[in-house]
């Protein structure tokens, strides 16, 4: 099974009631149907928490919605990765420079490339970089 890397832009479409995306729904359905384990960055956990807190502060969701979102995230099998090795850190910096990405976005790209997986993102620049590396 091809590893699946999901960034926070896709997960946000799953979690926020006022965001709808057929593509995000298809990705989620595919992950569940295939029994895939999502590969995420340790950064992803903080991004999801911040996304939910920011949305709640802006009135985009309430306590019940936040609890539902957390249950959804907790229900999805995931493996958390980091960039602790010097090689991964060097590659992350090289990919950021090559594709003009933030270090955060390059971290997702590096992980998908390292795992020879597929990167799901709604960020156009990151999606183009993933396509260029064969991770789309």
Three-class SS string for 62-127? CHHHHHHHHHHHHHCCEEEECCCCHHHHHHHHHHHHHHCCCHHHHHHHHHHHHHCCEEECCCHHHH
Residue for token digits 């260029």? Answer: 132
Q: Is it the case that residue 15 has pLDDT exceeding 90?
A: yes
Instruction: Check residue 120 and give its pLDDT.
Output: 96
pLDDT tens profile 34-91: 888 999 999 999 999 999 999 999 999 998 999 999 999 999 999 999 888 899 899 9
pLDDT tens profile 92-104: 999 999 999 999 9
Say if domain 4-133 classifies as CATH 3.40.50.1010. Answer: yes
**Cβ burial, residue 27 (10 Å; 0-12/13-18/19+):** buried
DSSP 36: P
What is the pLDDT confidence band of residue 19, given thresholds at 50, 70 and 90?
confident
What is the pLDDT confidence band of residue 128, given thresholds at 50, 70 and 90?
very high
Instruction: Check residue 114 and give its pLDDT.
Output: 95
What is the pLDDT confidence band of residue 22, given thresholds at 50, 70 and 90?
very high
SS3 40: strand
Q: Is it the case that residue 126 has pLDDT exceeding 90?
A: yes
Q: Is it the case that residue 132 has pLDDT exceeding 90?
A: yes
């Amino acid at each position: 099974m091809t590893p699946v890397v999901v960034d926070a832009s896709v997960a946000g479409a799953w979690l926020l009631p006022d965001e709808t995306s057929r593509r995000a729904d298809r990705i989620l359905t595919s992950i569940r149907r295939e029994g895939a384990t999502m590969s995420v960055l340790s950064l992803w956990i903080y991004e999801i928490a911040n996304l939910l807190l920011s949305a709640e502060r802006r009135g985009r969701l309430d306590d019940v919605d936040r609890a539902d979102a957390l249950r959804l995230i907790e229900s999805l099998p995931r493996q958390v990765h980091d960039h602790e090795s010097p090689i991964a850190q060097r590659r992350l910096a090289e990919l950021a420079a090559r594709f003009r990405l933030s270090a955060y976005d390059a971290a997702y790209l590096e992980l998908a490339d390292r795992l020879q997986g597929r990167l799901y993102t709604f960020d156009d620049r990151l999606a183009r970089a993933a396509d260029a590396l064969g991770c789309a």
